[in-house]
Amino acid sequence: MNLPRVYAFQTFFYSTLIQKGYGSVKRFTRRIDVFGYDIWIVPVHLTDHWCMAIVDVRNQRIEYYDSMLGQNRQVFEALSSYISAEMKDKKKKEINTYGWIQDRKQNIPIQQNGSDCGMFACKFAEYASRRAKIDFDQIHMPYFRKRMVWEIFQQRLM
């Protein structure tokens, strides 16, 4: 199985980028060449809701997954700016993200309660990391929660 190389950003990366700008997050990747990865997983925290952004570097795509189907143009602008700034800072090269595809996913599972957004975000990331077709729904969330607890305690994936 030929899986993509995946880099996962810290949970507070996006909110720091939005609130304080590139200068406050450039140190997050000081020892890492994020451009050596195929996919970047970017957790997006919106006050009381978790979403997920996926940057597909190889295919020049930014995807946004919100289990409540919210609009968030800012995520595309912020990540496009980050990509350009990171390339200039770390590689001393220019990159134009103008032609990159910006895809706000709409044909995705929708959460039916006010507490599963984090689990949806994690599953969107996990499926994207395998380039897998999303085939889960709200009904699977209790199982995914139990499975995640088991994986954390066992320190291995099922």
* Active-site pick, 38, 45, 49, 103: 49
Q: What is the number of domains present in the chain?
A: 1
Residue 1 belongs to some domain of the structure: no
Q: Among 51, 56, 116, 117, which one carries the catalytic annotation?
A: 117
CATH of residue 110's domain is 3.40.395.10
pLDDT one digit per residue (tens) for the chain, 158 residues: 799 999 999 999 999 999 999 999 999 999 999 999 999 999 999 989 999 999 999 999 999 999 999 989 999 999 999 999 999 999 999 999 999 999 999 999 999 999 999 999 999 999 999 999 999 999 999 999 999 999 999 999 88
| Inter-residue long-range contacts of 125-131, CB under 8 Å, 24+ positions, other chains counted | 125/8, 125/41, 125/43, 125/52, 125/54, 128/39, 128/41, 128/52, 128/54, 128/63, 128/65, 129/3, 129/4, 129/6, 129/39, 129/41, 130/3, 131/3, 131/4
Active site residue 45: no
Q: What is the pTM of this model?
A: 0.95
Cβ neighbors of 145 (< 8 A, separation 6 or more) are 119
**Encoded amino acid at 114, one letter:** G
Q: Whole domain around residue 52: which residue ranges?
A: 6-154
